[in-house]
Structure 1
């Protein structure tokens, strides 16, 4: 059974991506960071990453494998994922 509310949310997200000139399913990096920049950002976000690991990782173990938790910076840079 499809969830029409979730479908609407995803379609709205894709629409906003298209309006912003972005591909909603693009896998290319828009703003690549150097290894040092990413390391610095992760060091600055240490407390957030620790909290994420202590909460999201155990919770993810009880969810279906298709589930994921992502921690991103204020700029939308992926800092940590639960896998």
Structure 2
């Protein structure tokens, strides 16, 4: 039997572009990109970050905890 990811439950990572790109508090220049061990985030020059591979998120919430602008939201999603 082959086991794969659930088709009805997933994760969604959302980055508020206004908060992220305008944040002057991110001293480490997009710390979330380096902090994420799953490689979810991609840095977009001048525009903050984008969660390119949010399906890989393991829900550790490190990005959410360390974002000084509180621009990152991680949540469960249910598909019907």
Pairwise TM-score range, normalised by the shorter structure = under 0.3
Larger radius of gyration: 1
Structure number with higher strand proportion:
2
Structure number with higher helix proportion:
1
Relative CO higher for 1 or 2, CA cutoff 8 Å, sep ≥ 6?
Answer: 2
